[in-house]
Amino acid sequence: MEAIKRIVRVPENHEIIIKVPQYLPENEIVEVILIVKKRPDSFEQKINMLKASIKDELFQNDIRKVTEDFQAVDFEGWDNGI
């Protein structure tokens, strides 16, 4: 299975054309899924979402894991004597 992801804006005519890669044979069955994510409409809503992330345990755990994963890389190539 292969996934090809494209993010597009809904045009005025509400039509999205899908270009299928040339290497896929004709009559190949593919699955097309349209996922719509509602974006925060205002700056205030975005700020409120950021504030809510402080209390989100799943988000905090993800940040902790990323920090741990890159801890060794953070100083790689830097002169620590400065």
CA dist 51 to 15, 75, 81, Å?
A: 36, 30, 37
Task: Specify the amino acid at residue 37.
Answer: K
Evaluate if residue 82 carries a pLDDT over 60. no
For 34-79, what is each residue's pLDDT tens digit? 988 877 678 888 898 889 988 999 999 999 999 888 877 766 666 6
Letter string b/e over residues 11-20, b meaning 16 or more CB atoms within 10 A of that residue's CB: eeeeeeeeee
pLDDT winner (highest mean) among 3-12, 24-33, 45-54:
24-33
The answer to whether the predicted template modeling score (pTM) of the entire model surpasses 0.75 is: no
